[in-house]
């Protein structure tokens, strides 16, 4: 466990260091990246002054130290576009992404895993092949394209769902919740379609392996119903590798969220990243990248900590269970 | 590679070849120069512009055709770079091991944990849009997956005997690596490359969509980006402006995915040979029930064939065998003799590739072939129980012993919670285990205890017949004797018809009343254990008896 925590700390450190290093490595003046530069109407003299003010004339190692001490205090710089601390801008948009990504990941894991297990149970049959091919097809479509097609069909042509935003200003209470759910439907559907594939293939492969285990055969030999063998014996074991590979999946959903939120004008981190790219708001972009990385690391940590609930073999040794 | 995955590989490869040809011939195939204004802006499809025009009047069909070039170029070049880097790192880490491995794999883990698209965006933005940036950014995030996969392959390769032998003989690292490891890894690199290309093409589309592509060289992603910016998806134009490039991306990625999937299925025997669903019981119009005096288990003239790539293989041929209540019959055979097939057939659990071509199996007088699916299910466990091979893994590792026993009990009887608990305790006591063990998980039990639980599970439905397939495999000698003693005692106490299948003649002769010898799918000899051992008639039996070590350990309760 300590090893895993160290690994995660390393991931965060590398992500932060990438953030620090990029403005220095990329062609051009760091001030341009950090504070907008001449495009923001700064004169060369002001740029030099800013450079001195922010310690850009100091040795790199000192700057790195200052960067870390700022980071620890939650200082991610000032957003050029929003003209307020990056932390505040992120905090405002984070809840929407958490909600969207949470709902989508949940659905995606559930559907992908069950469908994968279902296909494994029918391994090699026509239905299995059909499932694999459909999932590969869904996996092959770019998320932003699925988003545009869903909008064109369900929002524009059929008019069933709104095509943009996360809520409307005038709604409150239960109406507000309905509004939120309605507006989340299409983006969430897009993310589920785009990220289902990973879970499906993982769960199918795990299930095929588990179905070969002697205990599954023994359960059948005990006269259990197929459904019980599948759901109570094979699936709980097939879930283990799915659960430990949450990283891959969550990364996919979050990556999808960037483009999908953009198309749906959803006020989350993804849309924020797109806007930051468009106006070249470098500090905001870096902050968003860091927050997304922290999110992934935290989710993995939770998965690691809760894994023993699924697998009794790794549970901490209990008081010896000896017959009286 | 089986027929189906070969067909998929072919379909994928054909699609990719077509796309490649389109990319190369794009300048000649495209009706117009995609950079020229050739019509009015936002034109609907017409015969001269089958996909209409974009916001500045450029021909969309020409853009689509020429876009193939950029999408494929970025995808394949980035994937080549990522595969080369990933292969180097993976092979080096897997082969060198030690601190080199630790350092490299830490780096790989870190890259894998970073969010792919946000990372590419951050790097892409700083280095500005452009083809080269796109390619290097994409390659820099996808190499890690390749490295991890190849390291695993090299690690398993390293343990192969011929590589180990070379190292023992003092062959140099470079020699072993270049002459023996790399050639073996090469075929595994191909599916990795294909999957990397798939990821690279999707990433390119996303980057281009976000405006980080090369604006001078339009790809499918750039087309979609402009279509999005001009809100084409909110008008009828989605049909000719948005749908075609997206489909092109999907088709390309799908072709790579299917191709890679077929290759991977070939290179991973575990996936290919894994278990299939079980067959439906054959419905044959033979309703006759045997006479009441029939033995508990009766196998009549049984023939089982397996379908394989090289035609039908006979596993059992004209096997007849009976086990009466209270009788312990040992079935002896070498591996491949068909003994496990016979055990599976007795429970109606033959793999789907197997067919019963002749004969029948009667369990307590019921012909298994005539039973409906629910009847067959209640027969399993309820009339005939199985003590499977590999008993060490015959228990579900994530559930307690008690819950598995309770489940097996309830599969055959409707009992309330208290009654079920009582029955579980009774079963555990029957095999000599304290009832407290019901709360334990399988990994907390010793091998012998687990085997006792497996026996209790086989008895949960109160069957008349129990088939034990190599019941002592994987146990040490002392535990073997213990487990055999339990089996023998139970067969007497419960008046079970017990069929013990094994390759171990000394073990069988200690416990069996009668012995049947199976050789190449045929029953060559059957008889009372003492007679058969004293005067084996068939040459195969004779050689078995002569080969067996003569060391007698009496099993309590066994035949005198």
ipTM (interface predicted TM): 0.81
CA-atom Rg of chain A in angstroms: 24
- From chain B residues 457-496, the ones with a CB under 8 A of any chain A CB are 457-458, 460-461
User: Which of A225, A313, A321 lies closest to B397 in CB terms?
Assistant: A313
What's the pLDDT band for A317 if we cut at 50, 70, 90? very low
Which two structure tokens, joined as six digits, stand for A246? 């949450």
Is residue A128 one of the residues assigned to a domain? yes
- Residue reference for tokens 């191909």: B190
Interface of A with B in 256-315 (CB under 8 A): 256, 258-259, 262-263, 273-274, 277-278, 280, 282, 285-286, 288-289, 292-293, 296-297, 300, 310-313
Q: Is the pLDDT of residue B269 over 60?
A: no
Give B349's contacts in chain A (Cβ within 8 Å). Answer: 217, 220-221
Yes or no, beta carbons of A255 and B116 under 8 Å apart: yes
Q: Which domain holds residue A139?
A: 99-269
Which residues of B are less than 8 Å from A215 in CB distance? 393-397
- Is A133 a domain residue? yes
Residue B385 pLDDT greater than 50, yes or no: yes
Q: What is the pLDDT of residue B466?
A: 92
Is it the case that residue A119 has pLDDT exceeding 60?
yes
Q: With left for phi above 0 and alpha for psi between -120 and 50, is residue A37 left, alpha or beta?
A: left
> What average pLDDT score do residues A219-233 get?
86
Highest mean pLDDT among A27-41, A236-250, B458-472: B458-472
Q: Are the beta carbons of A11 and B114 separated by less than 8 Å? A: yes
pLDDT over 70 at A320, yes or no: no
Residues of B in contact with A255 (CB under 8 A): 115-118, 206
Is residue A319 predicted with pLDDT exceeding 50? no
Closest C-alpha among B111, B141, B145, B142 to residue A11? B111
Q: How many domains does chain A have?
A: 1
Please list every residue in chain B whose beta carbon sits closer than 8 Å to the beta carbon of residue A10: 106, 110
For B510, phi and psi rounded to 5 degrees? -75, -25
Range with the lowest mean pLDDT among A95-104, A169-178, B241-250, B448-457? A169-178
pLDDT of residue A42: 65
Q: Distance (Å, rounded) from C-alpha A11 to C-alpha B114?
A: 7
pLDDT in tens, B286-322: 444 444 557 888 888 888 888 776 677 888 888 888 8
Per-residue confidence (pLDDT) for residue B81, from 0 to 100? 93
Of A215, A214, A244, residue with least CA distance to A232: A215
A241 found inside a domain: yes
**DSSP track, B106-132:** HHHHHHHHS-HHHHHHHHHHHH-SSHH
Residue among A259, A111, A133 nearest B246 (CA): A259
- Which residue of chain B has the CA closest to A298? B113
A213/B contact by beta carbon, under 8 A: yes
The candidate with the shortest Cα–Cα distance to B206, out of A19, A290, A252, A258, is A258
Give the pLDDT confidence score for residue B499 in this predicted structure.
92
* Percent above pLDDT 70 for chain B: 90
Across the interface, do A143 and B234 touch by the CB < 8 Å criterion? no
Does residue A264 form part of some domain?
yes
Across-strand partners of B518? B523
Q: Is A173 left (phi over 0), alpha (psi -120 to 50) or beta?
A: left
Confidence of residue B425 (pLDDT cuts 50, 70, 90): very high
A194 contacts A141 by C-beta, under 8 angstroms: yes
Q: For residue B293, what pLDDT is reported?
A: 58
Is the pLDDT at A159 greater than 80? The verdict is: no
- Show residues of chain A in contact with B275, CB under 8 Å: 123, 208, 211-212
Q: Looking at CA atoms only, how far is residue A166 from chain B in angstroms?
A: 18
Q: Is residue A137 in some structural domain?
A: yes
Contact residues, chain A, for B457 at CB < 8 Å: 218, 222
Query: Which CATH number characterizes residue A243's domain?
Result: 1.10.3720.10
Q: How far apart are CA B255 and CA B251, in angstroms?
A: 6
Q: Chain B closest CA to A191's CA: distance in Å?
A: 14
Q: How many residues does chain B have?
A: 560
How far does A194 lie from chain B, in Å, by closest CA? 11
pLDDT digits (tens, 9 = 90+) for B326-356: 889 999 888 778 888 888 888 888 877 788 8
Task: Flag whether A54 is in a domain.
Answer: no
Interchain CB contacts (distance < 8 Å): A and B: 278
Is A109's Cβ below 8 Å from some Cβ in B? Answer: no
Check A220 against B380: CB less than 8 A apart. yes
Q: What angle do CA B275, B276, B277 make, to 5 degrees?
A: 130
Residue A318 has pLDDT above 50, yes or no: no
Q: What is the pLDDT of residue A171?
A: 67
Q: Which of residues 325-364 of B touch A (CB under 8 A)?
A: 347, 349
pLDDT at B558 over 60: no
**3-state SS, residue A319:** coil
Q: Is the pLDDT of residue A321 over 50?
A: no
Q: Does B440 touch chain A (CB under 8 A)?
A: yes
Scanning every residue of chain A, which has its alpha carbon at the shortest distance from the alpha carbon of B236? A152
pLDDT of residue B77: 92
Q: Answer whether B538 touches A (CB < 8 Å).
A: no
Does the residue A62 lie in any domain? no
Is residue A8 one of the residues assigned to a domain?
no
Q: Would the pLDDT of B275 be above 60?
A: no
Strands of the B297-308 sheet, one edge to the other? B311-323, B297-308, B354-363, B366-367
Rounded Cα distance between B206 and A259, Å, is: 7
B 364-383: CB under 8 A from A: 377-382
For A62-93, write each residue's pLDDT tens digit. 778 888 888 888 777 777 777 788 888 888 88
Among B47-56, B80-89, B132-141, B244-253, name the one with the lowest average pLDDT. Answer: B47-56
Query: What is the value of pTM for the model shown?
Result: 0.79
The answer to whether A190 faces chain B, any CB pair under 8 Å, is: no
Residues of A in contact with B195 (CB under 8 A): none
d(CA B69, CA B131): 12
Q: Which two tokens stand for residue B376?
A: 């067959």
At A310, list the tokens: 């699924």
**Higher pLDDT, residue B62 or A36:** B62
How many separate helices (H) and strands (E) can be counted in chain B? 20, 10
Answer yes or no: do A223 and B270 touch at CB < 8 A. Answer: no
Q: What is the mean pLDDT of chain B?
A: 81
């Amino acid at each position: 466990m300590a090893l895993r925590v160290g690994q995660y700390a390393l991931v965060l450190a590398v992500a932060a260091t990438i953030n620090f290093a990029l403005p220095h490595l990329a062609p051009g003046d760091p001030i341009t990246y950090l504070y907008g530069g001449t495009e923001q109407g700064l004169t060369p003299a002001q740029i030099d002054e800013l450079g001195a003010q922010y310690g850009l004339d100091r040795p790199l190692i000192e700057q790195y130290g200052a960067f870390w001490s700022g980071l620890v205090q939650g200082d991610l710089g000032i957003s050029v576009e929003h003209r307020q601390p990056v932390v505040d801008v992120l905090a405002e948009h984070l809840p929407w992404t958490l909600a969207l990504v949470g709902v989508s990941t949940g659905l995606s894991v559930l559907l992908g895993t069950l469908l994968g297990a279902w296909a494994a149970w029918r391994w090699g049959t026509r239905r299995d092949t059909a499932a694999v091919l459909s999932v590969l097809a869904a996996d092959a479509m770019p998320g932003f394209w699925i988003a545009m097609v869903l909008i064109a069909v369900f929002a524009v042509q059929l008019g069933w769902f709104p095509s943009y935003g996360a809520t409307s200003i005038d709604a409150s209470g239960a109406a507000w919740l309905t509004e939120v759910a309605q507006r989340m439907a299409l983006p969430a559907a897009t993310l589920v379609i785009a990220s289902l594939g990973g879970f499906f293939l993982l769960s199918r492969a795990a299930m095929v392996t588990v179905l070969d285990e002697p205990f599954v055969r023994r359960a059948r030999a005990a006269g259990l119903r197929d459904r019980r063998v599948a759901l109570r014996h094979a699936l709980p074991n097939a879930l283990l590798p799915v659960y430990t590979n949450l990283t891959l999946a969550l990364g996919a959903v979050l990556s999808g969220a960037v483009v999908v939120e953009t198309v749906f004008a959803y006020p989350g981190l993804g849309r924020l990243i797109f806007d930051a790219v468009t106006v070249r708001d470098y500090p905001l972009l870096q902050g968003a990248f860091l927050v997304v990385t922290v999110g992934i690391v935290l989710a993995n940590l939770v998965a690691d900590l809760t894994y023993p609930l699924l697998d009794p073999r790794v549970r901490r040794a209990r008081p010896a269970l000896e017959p009286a | 590679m089986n027929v189906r995955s070969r067909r998929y590989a072919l379909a994928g490869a054909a699609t990719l070849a077509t796309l490649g040809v389109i990319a190369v011939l794009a300048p000649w195939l495209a009706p117009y120069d995609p950079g020229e204004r050739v019509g009015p802006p936002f034109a609907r499809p017409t015969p001269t512009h089958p996909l209409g025009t974009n916001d500045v009047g450029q021909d969309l069909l020409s853009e689509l055709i020429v876009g193939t070039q950029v999408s494929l170029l970025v995808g394949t070049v980035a994937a080549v770079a990522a595969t080369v880097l990933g292969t180097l790192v993976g092979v080096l880490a897997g082969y060198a091991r030690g601190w080199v491995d630790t350092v490299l794999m830490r780096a790989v883990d870190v890259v894998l944990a970073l969010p792919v698209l946000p990372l590419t965006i951050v790097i892409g933005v700083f280095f500005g849009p452009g083809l080269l940036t796109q390619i290097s950014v994409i390659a820099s995030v996808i190499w890690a997956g390749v490295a991890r996969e190849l390291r695993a392959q090299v690690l398993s390769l390293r343990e192969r005997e011929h590589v180990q032998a070379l190292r023992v003989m003092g062959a140099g690292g470079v020699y072993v690596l270049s002459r023996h490891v790399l050639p073996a890894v090469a075929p595994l690199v191909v599916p990795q490359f294909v999957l990397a290309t798939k990821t690279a093409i999707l990433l390119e589309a996303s980057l281009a969509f976000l405006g980080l592509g090369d604006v001078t060289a339009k790809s499918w992603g750039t087309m979609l980006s402009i279509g999005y910016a001009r809100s084409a998806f909110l008008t009828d134009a989605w049909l000719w402006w948005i749908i075609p490039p997206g489909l092109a991306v999907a088709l390309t990625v799908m072709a790579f995915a299917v191709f890679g999937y077929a290759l991977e299925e070939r290179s991973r025997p575990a996936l290919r040979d894994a278990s299939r669903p079980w067959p439906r019981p054959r419905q044959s119009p033979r309703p006759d029930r045997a006479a009441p005096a029939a033995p508990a288990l009766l196998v009549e003239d049984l023939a089982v064939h397996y379908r394989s790539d090289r035609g039908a293989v006979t596993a059992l041929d004209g096997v007849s065998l009976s086990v009466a209540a209270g009788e312990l019959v040992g079935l002896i055979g070498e591996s491949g003799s068909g003994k496990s097939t016979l055990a599976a057939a007795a429970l109606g659990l033959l793999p789907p590739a197997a067919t019963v071509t002749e004969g029948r199996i009667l369990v307590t007088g019921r012909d298994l072939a005539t039973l409906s699916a629910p009847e067959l299910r209640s027969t399993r466990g309820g009339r005939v129980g199985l003590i499977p091979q590999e008993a060490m893994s015959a228990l579900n590792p994530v559930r307690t012993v008690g819950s598995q026993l309770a489940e097996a009990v309830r599969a055959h009887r409707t009992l309330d919670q208290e009654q079920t608990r009582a029955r579980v305790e009774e079963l555990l006591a029957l095999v000599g285990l304290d009832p407290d063990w019901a709360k334990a998980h399988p990994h907390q039990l010793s091998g012998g205890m687990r085997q006792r639980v497996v026996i209790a599970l086989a008895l949960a439905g109160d069957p008349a017949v129990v088939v034990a397939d190599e019941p002592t495999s994987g146990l040490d000698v002392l535990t073997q004797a213990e487990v055999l003693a339990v089996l023998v005692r139970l067969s007497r106490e419960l008046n079970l018809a017990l069929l013990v299948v094994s390759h171990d003649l000394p073990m069988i002769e200690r416990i069996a009343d009668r012995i049947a010898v199976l050789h190449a799918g045929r029953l060559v000899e059957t008889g009372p254990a003492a007679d058969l051992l004293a005067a084996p008639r068939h040459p195969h039996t004779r050689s078995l008896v002569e080969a067996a070590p003569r060391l007698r350990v009496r099993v309590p309760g066994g035949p005198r």
